[in-house]
Amino acid sequence: MQRSTSSLKRDRANVLLTRIVAALGLDRQALVLNCMGLRAAESPARSKKSPLSIDTRASNNKRLVLTWHPILELSETAVWQTIADEALEYHPAYDALMPRLSCVFCVLAGFDVLVRAVRLCWALDLPLPEQYTDLEARIGHRFKDQYSLADVVAEAHRAEEREGPLTWNRGDALRAQLGDDTAAAYLERMADYEADAYP
């Protein structure tokens, strides 16, 4: 499954690369630097990647594509520390304590992550859990051999009964990764930047 999702992402990226290079209107080969946020610790395959390489699949006579993995050797904590130190924006799904920004119901995700994804859909008033469980019932095929999405949704209901609806605040990802003080300092810097940008 990982290969098919990778190829789908790569194919979409290549369409974008073609558009970008065409828009440049160069009379020579364009040099394209494709930055990817992969980390070696995420999987054995990723640990074998080079920090910088030529993408021979995406390169052609109109473009030379280099793939750069700037955070390849960083730990997850180091990534979050860099975000905090540099006051970088990050996707709000991380504040809902989703471990990855991925497909809503990723086949590579663990059960607990899928439960949280269902609860996040409910908090955002997205009908995806019901649509997926209806589809699962209609086609008679389980999401995974070990459990169905209906099982995931049932556990999400139990979690909601125990804890109430899922809530989160800006900076919760940093609080979870680096502590309250770092999150507070980050939010203060971001507020200053936003005040300067939108006086």
Q: What is the pLDDT of residues 118-166, one digit of tens each?
A: 999 999 999 999 999 999 999 999 999 999 999 999 999 999 999 999 9
- pLDDT tens, position by position, 7-47: 666 777 788 888 999 999 999 999 999 998 899 998 899 99
Q: What is the 3-state secondary structure (H, E, C) of 117-164?
A: HHHHHHHCCCCHHHHHHHHHHHHCCCCCCCCCHHHHHHHHHHHHHHHC
Whether 82 has a pLDDT exceeding 80, the answer reads yes
pLDDT of 6 reads: 64
Cβ of 63: how many Cβ atoms within 10 Å?
A: 20
Task: List, as one string, the DSSP characters of 40-91.
Answer: GGG-HHHHT--SEEE-TTT-BTTEEEEEE-TTTT--HHHHHHHHHHHT----
For CA atoms 29, 31, 37, 39, give the dihedral sign.
positive
Percent with pLDDT over 90 in the chain: 80
The residue-averaged pLDDT of 55-84 equals: 95
* Contact predicate 54/32, CB 8 Å: no
Are the CB atoms for 29 and 61 separated by under 8 Å?
yes
How does the average pLDDT of the chain come out, rounded? 92
Prediction pTM value? 0.82
